[in-house]
């Protein structure tokens, strides 16, 4: 894009070139339409037409007569099919089941993914890629395989869960949470990636400024990525490292030495390292 | 075009039954006694499983009891799912479930396979095709199992059927004659049952093919009576039965209604009465002419 942009600007300024430009623009519009055609055709044929046809069919029912051997007759019933579904107690029960499922599944999945994303982002976690892959893998497992795995785990005779928890995960009361657990297992990694990506997009300056103002719960990643971060010296010390680095950072930020205080940081860190090693 | 049928039979661990002096039950009363005896020998073991999720299994059990669920009468279906024989069947299995005399595992599931493998299930109420399941699931159990016809209610020979195959050609078919030629080949050509005989006991409706299947089955897995003798005898005992137009829908209604039985939420006879109501309402909603109760 940066190569094309300067080329186009002078052409527009020259009056003699105006007509070809509009032609080109028209051609471009046309090209866009042509390129959109495959998508539009597929959308219309495989989504819109079937949906409309299903809506049309939903206004009809099949009626048999006598023993039913004469074959069905299509009868137009207006909204009769919808009314009989709304009046069906099994439909009400299934709505309740879905609502209960969502109440268990959605909060546990979102909270789980957020916690995992914050952990990944915090720098507390070593082998980040391995962990994110491990959490993400259930999403890539085909649903049928996942179902089989959980069927073995849940089985009251073969599976370990009944023995470990003392609760039969397939008993009437535990069944719905057990199903919600499978869905959460499958989706938590996917949502974690989304949260993690969003966290990565937070500008570094904002995080640093927040930390400078004394915010304690700011992701520590920024410190890690600081060029020349002396914390590198301390790699391997895990949690200690980050807690100490954050402490040092905050002190200098408050003194307005944030960007220029690298020298201080280094000295501080030498001290810190000495302390950690001295343990 | 009929192709095959699947008479129900009782597969049991003849070695264990004999070892512990339990005689083969010939009536359902004896079956209940034998179930208690099995549980006494091994508190973890059960005589068989009653799968609450399988409408075709319960239909097969009820078929034996001699009260057909549907009968075509003139231009009307007589629907009798909560008939006397079916309710007797339901009450019997309810007492077995309440007394914790039968397992509840699903036929063919991993728990079920583990059960027959570890001698926690000493018997299987199955159909002719269960031979394939047993051969495949517990190949090392050769020489431990035997086959018998189903126990009866009163000693009078009667047997149920679980499954069977028949083909129809749609009225809209563009080549009905070609379809019939193929189906006739499938049902009567002697090469066809030989394919199935490699791993199970096909039971063709066409009698010359049944003889082919009997000969092609290599046998050796079961003790006692040859399996085809038992299947032939079972097939002879099957009473009159008609499948109604909503049979498959009814199977799922049965598993939905039987589900709460496990936790004590309902009983089998009550669930059967509910299934009858569902079936009536469903058939009426489809415009069929229905009448409740036994065929007059």
The verdict on A200 touching B (C-beta cutoff 8 Å) is no
Report pLDDT for A132.
Answer: 87
In B95-227, beta strands by DSSP E: 123-127, 145-149, 161-166, 222-223
Please write the tens of the pLDDT for every residue from A61-109: 999 999 998 888 999 999 999 999 999 998 999 999 999 999 999 999 9
Q: Which of B117, B96, B107, B112 is nearest to B31 (CA)?
A: B96
Please write the tens of the pLDDT for every residue from B86-95: 999 999 999 9
Q: How confident is the model at residue A12 (pLDDT cuts 50, 70, 90)?
A: very low
A residues 124-183 near B, CB within 8 Å? 151-152, 155-158, 171-172
Report pLDDT for A21.
Answer: 58
Distance of CA B67 to the CA centre of its chain: 15
Q: Does the pLDDT at position A225 exceed 80?
A: no
Lowest mean pLDDT among A71-80, A207-216, B190-199: A207-216
Percentage of residues in chain A with pLDDT exceeding 90?
42
Q: What is the pTM of this model?
A: 0.76
Residues in Cβ contact with A43 at an 8 Å cutoff, skipping those fewer than 6 apart: none
Report pLDDT for A240.
Answer: 38
Please write the tens of the pLDDT for every residue from B112-126: 999 999 999 999 999
Q: Do A158 and B262 touch (CB under 8 A)?
A: no
The verdict on B115 touching A (C-beta cutoff 8 Å) is yes
Report pLDDT for A19.
Answer: 54
Report pLDDT for A20.
Answer: 57
Q: Does the pLDDT at position A113 exceed 70?
A: yes
Q: Do A66 and B72 touch (CB under 8 A)?
A: no
Q: How crowded is the C-beta side of B19, counted as CA atoms within 13 Å?
A: 11
Query: Which of B72, B106, B110, B118 to probe by mutation at the A interface, max A CB count within 10 Å?
Result: B110
Rounded to whole angstroms, the Cα distance separating B120 from A151 reads 20
Report pLDDT for A127.
Answer: 85
Rounded to whole angstroms, the Cα distance separating B240 from B149 reads 17
Percentage of residues in chain A with pLDDT exceeding 70?
69
Specify the higher pLDDT residue, A137 or A262. A137
In B215-263, beta strands by DSSP E: 222-223
Give the phi and the psi of residue B147 in degrees, each rounded to 5.
-120, 140
DSSP, collapsed to helix, strand or coil, labels residue B288 as coil
Q: Do B76 and A66 touch (CB under 8 A)?
A: yes
Report pLDDT for B194.
Answer: 93
Which chain A positions have a beta carbon within 8 Å of B110's beta carbon? 151-152, 155, 158
Lowest mean pLDDT among A20-24, A199-203, B52-56, B149-153: A20-24
- Between the two ends of chain B, the Cα-to-Cα distance in Å is 30
Kindly report the average pLDDT of chain A as a whole number: 76
């Amino acid at each position: 894009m940066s190569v094309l942009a300067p080329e186009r600007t002078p052409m527009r300024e020259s009056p003699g070139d105006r007509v070809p430009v509009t032609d080109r623009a028209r051609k471009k519009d046309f090209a866009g339409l042509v390129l959109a055609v495959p998508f539009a055709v597929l959308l219309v044929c495989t989504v819109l037409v079937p949906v409309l046809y299903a809506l049309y069919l939903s206004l009809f029912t099949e009626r048999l007569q006598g023993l039913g051997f004469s074959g069905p007759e299509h009868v137009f019933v207006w909204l009769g099919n919808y009314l009989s579904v709304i009046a069906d107690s099994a439909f009400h029960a299934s709505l309740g089941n879905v609502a209960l499922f969502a109440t268990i599944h959605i909060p546990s999945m979102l909270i789980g993914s957020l916690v995992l994303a914050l952990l990944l982002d915090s720098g507390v976690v070593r082998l980040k890629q391995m962990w994110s892959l491990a959490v993400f893998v259930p999403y890539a497992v085909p649903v049928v395989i996942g179902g089989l795995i959980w069927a073995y785990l849940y089985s009251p005779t073969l599976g370990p869960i009944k023995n470990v928890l003392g609760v039969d995960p397939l008993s009437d009361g535990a069944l719905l949470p057990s199903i919600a657990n499978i869905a959460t297992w499958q989706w938590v990694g996917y949502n974690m990636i989304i949260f993690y990506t969003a966290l990565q997009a937070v500008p570094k300056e904002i995080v640093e400024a927040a930390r400078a103002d004394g915010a304690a719960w700011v992701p520590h990643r920024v410190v890690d990525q600081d060029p020349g971060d002396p914390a590198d010296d301390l790699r391997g010390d895990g949690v200690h490292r980050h807690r100490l680095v954050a402490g040092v950072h905050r002190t200098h930020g408050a003194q307005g030495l944030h960007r220029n205080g690298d020298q201080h940081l280094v000295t501080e860190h030498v001290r810190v390292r000495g302390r950690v090693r001295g343990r | 075009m009929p192709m095959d049928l699947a008479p129900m039979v009782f597969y049991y661990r003849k070695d264990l039954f004999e070892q512990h002096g339990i005689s083969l039950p010939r009536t359902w009363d004896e079956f209940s006694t034998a179930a208690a005896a099995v549980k006494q020998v091994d508190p973890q073991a059960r005589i068989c499983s009653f799968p609450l999720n399988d409408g075709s299994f319960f239909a097969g059990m009820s078929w034996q009891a001699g009260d057909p669920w549907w009968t075509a009468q003139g231009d009307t279906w007589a629907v009798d799912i909560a008939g006397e024989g079916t309710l007797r069947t339901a009450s019997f299995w309810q007492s077995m479930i309440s007394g914790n005399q039968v397992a509840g595992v699903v036929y063919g599931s991993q728990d079920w396979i583990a059960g027959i493998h570890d001698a926690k299930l000493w018997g299987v109420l199955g159909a002719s095709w269960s031979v394939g399941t047993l051969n495949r699931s517990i190949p090392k159990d050769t020489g431990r199992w035997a086959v018998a016809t189903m126990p009866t209610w009163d000693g009078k020979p009667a047997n149920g059927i679980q499954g069977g195959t028949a083909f129809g050609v749609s009225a809209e078919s563009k080549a009905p004659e070609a379809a019939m030629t193929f189906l006739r080949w499938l049902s009567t050509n002697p090469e066809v049952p030989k394919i199935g005989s490699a791993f199970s006991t096909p039971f063709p409706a066409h009698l010359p093919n049944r003889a082919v299947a009997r000969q092609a089955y290599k046998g050796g897995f079961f003790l006692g009576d040859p399996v085809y003798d038992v299947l032939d005898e079972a097939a002879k005992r099957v009473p009159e039965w008609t499948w109604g137009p909503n049979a498959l829908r009814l199977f799922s209604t049965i598993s939905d209604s039987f589900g709460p039985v496990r936790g004590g939420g309902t009983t089998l006879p009550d669930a059967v009465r509910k299934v009858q109501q569902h079936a009536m309402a469903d058939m009426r909603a489809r415009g069929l002419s229905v009448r409740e109760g036994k065929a007059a």
